[in-house]
Amino acid sequence: MQQIKLGEVRISSLIERDGPVRTALAMFPDATPERVARALSKLPGFTYDAKTEMLVITYQTFILRTPTCTVLIDTCVGEHPGYHESLNYDKTPWMRALEAHNLTVEDIDYVFCTHLHIDHVGWNTRLIDGRHVPTFPNAKYVFSRREYEHWKTHESGAVGPSFAACVTPIVEAGQALLVDDSFMLNDQLSLVPAAGHSPGHVCVSLKSQGQHALFCGDMMHNAIQCIEPGWSTKLCSDPAGAAATRRRFFAQYCESDTLFIPTHFPAPTAGHVRADGDAYRFDFLPSL
Ligand SMILES: [Zn+2]
């Protein structure tokens, strides 16, 4: 994602992986070939591969540089042994990108996770001398308490071994802030409840100088879900609840300047949700 300026805050991203991953039919149980064809015809070409019809799913971390702190939102898959082979790709681009932003791990003040699925918590920790330790020694990590409590006692392929590797060590190190789903860090950063994809999924709201952005995690994985807001993924905890959350946010913000920044959307990533007939569309910000 190109750097965006939102009021006083500079937003950029670290990309861990980018490219087509799976088809809409494989991803959304409610999709049909006819509806997929109709939706793809409305999408910009960079959001799917025309030949295979696989949707482009980007794994990225957002960096926010505010006047008072440096913040990361969602931390991809990270470098951990024993994960499923589909997650066994080269992770070095992420660390190189952090360096390219002139940041060290010591510079990060806060890490927000929109939810605790395996591809949103990875770089929370690194394996050093056989132990998972916090990657960012000076950071507080903001987790929804509801989300944390749920995954402490439940299992899912969407979480797998990452709770033990990337969440528990943060709590044990005393670096976790386990907070309510409406937590306010300061005047600029707060959480907004957005359950459905996972039980304690939240959006991170950023306000600066009258401008507003929502880092909306996995509320949607691809812009096709604006055209078909009822389509939830196979891995959503509560598919109907996830669809209701999308419709609620889309209705609330479709006539506003609120910028949506979904974790898995390819560059330019950020955009506006707009009403389109009886559903919506995602208007990406123009590329510079
Ligand atoms: Zn997820």
Of 76, 114, 94, whose CA–CA distance to 206 is shortest? 114
Distance (angstroms) between ligand 1 centre and the Cα of 46 equals: 22
Distance (angstroms) between ligand 1 centre and the Cα of 262 equals: 11
- What pLDDT is recorded for position 22? 95
CB 183 within 8 A of CB 110: no
The whole-number average pLDDT for the span 256-277 is 97
- What pLDDT is recorded for position 288? 62
Buried b / exposed e over 16-30, threshold 16 CB at 10 Å, is bbeebbebbeebbee
Distance (angstroms) between ligand 1 centre and the Cα of 209 equals: 31
CB 122 within 8 A of CB 77: yes
Distance (angstroms) between ligand 1 centre and the Cα of 78 equals: 15
Q: How far apart are the first and last CA of the chain?
A: 10
Distance (angstroms) between ligand 1 centre and the Cα of 115 equals: 7
Distance (angstroms) between ligand 1 centre and the Cα of 103 equals: 26
The yes-or-no verdict on residue 9 having pLDDT over 90 is: yes
Q: How far apart are CA 6 and CA 212, in angstroms?
A: 7
- What pLDDT is recorded for position 219? 98
Distance (angstroms) between ligand 1 centre and the Cα of 219 equals: 8
The whole-number average pLDDT for the span 147-175 is 95
Distance (angstroms) between ligand 1 centre and the Cα of 181 equals: 16
Three-class SS string for the chain? CCCEEECCEEEEEEEEECCEEEEHHHHCCCCCHHHHHHHHCCCCHHHECCCCCEEECCEEEEEEECCCCEEEECCECCCCCCCCHHHCCCCHHHHHHHHHCCCCHHHCCEEECCCCCCCECHHHEEEECCEEEECCCCCEEEEEHHHHHHHHHCCCCCCCCHHHHHHHHHHHCCCEEEECCCCECCCCEEEEECCCCCCCCEEEEEEECCEEEEECCCCCCCCHHHHCCCCCCCCCCCHHHHHHHHHHHHHHHCCCCCEEECCCCCCCCCEEEEEECCEEEEEECCCC
Distance (angstroms) between ligand 1 centre and the Cα of 34 equals: 26
Distance (angstroms) between ligand 1 centre and the Cα of 220 equals: 9
Token pair 């006692």: residue:
153
Distance (angstroms) between ligand 1 centre and the Cα of 66 equals: 26
Q: How far apart are CA 270 and CA 214, in angstroms?
A: 9
Report how far apart, in Å, the C-alpha atoms of 32 and of each of 55, 179, 192, 225 are: 15, 39, 32, 14
pLDDT digits (tens, 9 = 90+) for 197-236: 999 999 999 999 999 999 999 999 999 999 999 999 999 9
Domains, the chain, ranges and CATH? 4-284 (3.60.15.10)
The whole-number average pLDDT for the span 44-63 is 97
Instruction: Give percent above pLDDT 70 in the chain.
Output: 100
Distance of CA 92 to the CA centre of its chain: 20
* Single pTM value for the model: 0.97
pLDDT digits (tens, 9 = 90+) for 129-139: 999 999 999 99
- What pLDDT is recorded for position 116? 98
Residue 287 banded pLDDT, cuts 50, 70, 90: confident
- What pLDDT is recorded for position 154? 92
Residue 64 banded pLDDT, cuts 50, 70, 90: very high
The whole-number average pLDDT for the span 250-260 is 98
Token pair 């957002």: residue:
62
